[in-house]
Structure 1
Amino acid sequence: MNIRYPFAKLLSFPRRMPGWQLWLSTLVSSLVISEAIVMLMEGLLLGRITNDYLLTGVAISILVASLLAATILYSRDQIRMLAADLAATLQAVPDLLFELGEDGEYINVWARDPALLAAHKNILLGHSVSEILPPEAAKTVMSAIAEAQKDGYSAGQVIQLKLPEGDRWFELSTSPKATNGSSSKRFIMLSRDITERRHAEESVRDSAEQLRTIFEGAIDGILVADIETRKFLFGNPEICRMLGYRPEEIIHLGIADIHPKDEQPQAIEPFERMVRGEVQIARNIPILRQDGSVFYVDIKASPIRFNGKDALLGIFRDITERRNSEAKLLKLSQAIEQSPAATVITDIHGHIEYVNPKFIEATGYAQEDLIGKTPAIIKSGLTPREVYEDLWRTLLSGKEWRGEMQNRRKSGELYWEYGIIAPVKDEHDEIINFIAVKEDITERKLGEEALQQKHAKLIETERELLKAHDSLAEADRLECVGRLAAGVAHEVKNPLAVIRFGVDYLAKQFSQESGRAVLDDVRAAIDRADHVIKDLLDFSRQKEFARRPTNINHVIDNAIQFVKHETKRRNITINTQIDPVPPIYADPDRLLQVLINLLSNAAQAIGQDGSIEVETRSILFSEHDLQRSEGNVFRIGEPIITVDIRDTGPGISADHERKLFEPFFTTKPVGEGTGLGLAVSRNIVIMHKGSLNISNRSEGGASALLMFRVAREHFSNEKANTGS
């Protein structure tokens, strides 16, 4: 504020004033200034408040005195100029100014910023603080007035007001005002807005609290060391834990106390360099615990001022585990480098990041040819795609994959390898790499293939021997049966012919119906015996087969026509599901005999009212089909034709199932079967190098499954014989 201007004016007047005017002006001004100074000293505006208030009060007093003198001595324009100066000076005062009565009544109010008032000036005047301010604030104001009345001044009282712009805090400074002996006491109160300062103080407190929380919660150790004495001034909880000391013990230690004696020169030298600002980080520094054990840390240091002292703040990170891990990694790296197994490491996308010398030797590629590429560079194209799909499915699930692959060297040479591939995970269990360890098994695979070929030949030889043995046994059995059948035919067939001749003769002699009926029964018995002899001869004789390419579907159609009369009589339907199939190499007449026999047996098993299903298919023989084939007739993967005859009869009992193909065994009533049909049919199928299997169905009934080898030489251009 400019407080010299009125004095300049005033001091310039005596040069132009008469003596009495100068004397009068000087007298008035002196009286006014003296009175103002006395009032200020007694506490009107100064009252031991602050230097700012003192200067403000002096300025106001001088201006008032100048204005009074100007009123007496100067012109009206000069008075207006001094009044403007006084207004400008008051406008520069940032605080609220109140004149209050002893009871807290507002007598006068001045505010540069009316928005800081609890209410409009016109509302305040004539009311007390208890009517305007919140109870707590009004109580503080009255306390300040009481303190000023008692001690001559009051400072430091703080009130909080809720203003439209938000909460604001005000610091009060109060002094009693001289009243010229008046009984009513008045007080001048300055109210300074300290909201920003309070927020700043709170921010400092919050920052200090946050800093303390950070120090105490830090996972690294923190030490503050006095640069001059090398003693510790502060240590956080983590450094206390690391060193094994209590916080109160840390401040009695120094730099030399936390390093092994035999390593102190090497450990303290980095500290000196950090003090000089040459380095910020010291690595692999040995630290001595209270119990005598040693661990290693990296230290990052920064210069700071701490409690008025130049200090160095050091952040200690324990690297003991990392140091040990690095040592282990070094050993592991050397082991991989010198490993006799080919090793490759890729990223999660399969790009090669590392190969050891053995991998380079095995593939023939240089390291620069492999880094950044994928292992597809050595793929031969001969490993099935399913192997790679299984590999990636296993690895991405986090599991280890093991298996064999056939790859190709840079020279083009094929080789086999056995690989173990595993995912590498980080501390969050996320896959970050894949590592593969591979062994060249080419020689072993060649040896295995040679053994497999020899084993296959041995199995084939064994199978042929078994077939030859079975054929010899079957031939011996058939030869025995043939001799028996020939004897029966010689000894029985001729007498039967004589008996039939006699029956025919007697039939001509009898005229009674009853006698003829008896002779008819005898004639039927003779026919049945003759049929048995015929079946027996068919079973024993090995007739030459007239084999040729045969369409089994046509043979089935002919067989259905032969049994059509019987199935119709029994109300049995025959349903067919006939697929186009390649021909088989067979005797159609003998196959027709087999199919008629099987269809007839199915119809007789049903009895009345049922159905028979006939299905033909062309398939590749599988392990599942082994369960329903007879003997080791077919090989896995071999193309075959199947004929499945399924009925809705009662099925086969366990006792009967074991005897189905035994000669003379039958489940039919006496006179309806010889027990040789299935035995003859089985022999015919065996002679065709096929298979016949009869079993129960889970849904009820029985199934007769025929299997025949496809005639390979007639796949495309030979038309099958119908067998009719």
Structure 2
Amino acid sequence: MSDTLLSSAHSLIELTPRLQRVLGYGIPVVLGGIISIASALHILTPGESFFTQVIVGLVGGVLAGPLLLGGLWLARSPTHVVQTEINREDPPDRWWHKATSPNQATSLRPAARIGAWCLAGALPVGFIASLAALYQLAHGVALADPWLLVMWGGGAGGVGGFVTGVYDSRRAHEHTQYEQVTERLTTLVETVPIALITLDQEGEVEAWNQAAESIFGYEQREVLGDTFPVIPDEEQAAFDELLQQVESGRTVTREEAEWQRYDGSRVAVQFWASPLQDHHEHDEPATRTPGERGDGAEHAIVAVEDVSSQQERQEELELLHRAIDEAPVGVTIADATQDDNPLTYVNDGFQELTGYTEDEILGRNCRFLQGEKTAAEPVAEMREAIDTGKPVSVKLRNYRKDGTEFWNYVTIAPVRDETGDVIRFIGFQQDITERKENEQELQLYQRAVDEAGHVVMITDTEGTIEYVNQAFEETTGYSKEEAVGQNTRILKSGKHSDTFYEELWETITAGDVWEATLVNQRKDGRLYQVEQTIAPITDTDGEITHFVGIESEITERRLREQRLSVLNRVLRHNIRNAMNVVRGNAETLAETLGDKDQQEQAAAIRNRANELLELTEHARKIRDLFNRETEDDATCDVNALLTGLRDEFHDEYPEAELTITTPESALVQADDRLATAIREAVDNAVTHSDQTPPEVTLTATPPERTETGEWVDILIADNGPGIPDQEQTVVEMGEETPLTHSSGIGLWLIHWVAVSFGGEVTIRENSPRGSIVTIRIPAATS
């Protein structure tokens, strides 16, 4: 019987796993209960010592308790076996299948713990049973004794528990690894930024991760079991066809499309689609490569990536590149990592600005645009900024390919990498030639206004001073700082009525120019007279924004005019009256004196008085001539003028031989005062001639264009003694000094008339004798 039991215990190891569980878990329960009861009731063989019974009973009772509880636990919570395993060599669709399979085993960690209990109970029981058996054999006790059978049964149960525990521990370890892999895959699927979606053969959604919710706006509960909701109507047929290809085993990679979000907006995506089959415990791993057709798929897995931001960035980059290429300024990029910072990019604007082509520019340093007149200061400033990696802006003169100069406003900025090192320099070049010329012209105007001898001030529409020039400071005594911000009333003298100023403001606010002579007051209280012109300044819309006032101080001029007026009155009235008295008395003396010498002296007094009377008459003529303004559009026909003077000269100078030659037409920019100058010249030629008869020739040339303009010359030639060199010099220079002055005012009158019309007077010798006075007057424009 013992052989049979040993053989049965040994055969437990060879039993199937299911039978091992039944016997391995059942025997510990039964034997554990028997041992506990037997130990408690001391019903073992009476022939044994009490000590042996106590030891066996205690050991059996202590160890049987865990065995009994373990068997009851296993009976209440049966263990299941893992049916699939994760294989790293499987394709992704098998991993997906195993990570999401709904029929996996429950946790086997309790089985692992029970196996360890069985192992802990089996080893001591088996060991004690073996010792007891050896003890009985040594004392000749039969193996068939009841209590020894119980011990052998406990040993067999322990072996069974050990075997089952080892088996279940191994399976539990495998399942723990599976759970860890599954957990990692599930986390990966839910956190990956790519939408992962599975569809069944009907196109209905089976799985929908968080990325899909984020991209399309549909929650998982809204799409599971429903048709794929993101395909636009116009693309549905094409997607269905593609899905059929996937179900037939084809893998689709990197397709681009625009799908539809929950809110109706479109999103640019790239997607991959692959067939997905169910794999069971005994299936062979799939070995199909992407794109290879299979025997048919029960599911499709679709991976979708949102590329809208990439597309937007690409469009932004393309737009930026296009904007740079088409920018109205030159744009360059230089490589800071190479020697001499060669240019690696230039836009069309730079090529148009410089005249060089891209092939002629790339690889060169931008200094090839510099030339002879390029200033060293801005070049040095750029070099220092480049060496220190700082931005810089300079204005410098550059040269185009054809050699023409242009002013270049250059801005250079460094471009750094993630470590802060400069890797590129981006440059912007703008042609500011016109602006530079305008600046120079503006500076010239400003210097001209600042240094002008006239007072210039600019006010706003309320009369508040915003600008004054240097002449204002010198004339008024107010500095620029004191005047700016003040009203023009600071110059008010109180010499003009309120009506005067009301008319002034009505005129300029209406957009007209105001001109007047008025009295102003300096800072120190002194009065001064000015000729003032005030003009409105308007913007592009015609609105008045400022007023500009120009003043010429005429205090001294008015004093001179007053003096001249008084002197003229004295000459015309007092001296003329006195000279008439002198001349009358001289004539009376000449008639009453019998001495010839005395008569000659009286005649000299009379002649000198006549000369003084003529001088006063010349002064009257000059006053009358220049007491009126010259009209800009006045014209005079020289041919008609000389023809009209012919009869006048023949009547006045019958003894003289006069010859007049004129062109058919010769219009000049002059008025009737030109006749006065011609009369004066002819009168001088006849009166001072020492020849009998006096010969005078008047010739007018047709209009002749010269480098200085178009002119008409009127020549008065005589055969007299000629005009002294001193008087020629004085008149041609237009200035007298105490040492060089004219003996009369006749030539001055001719000079003043010519100059007033924009002309000039020249004097040269005639051949063989005499002088030629030329009056040059601008020809009238048609």
**Structure 2 length as normaliser, TM-score?**
0.43
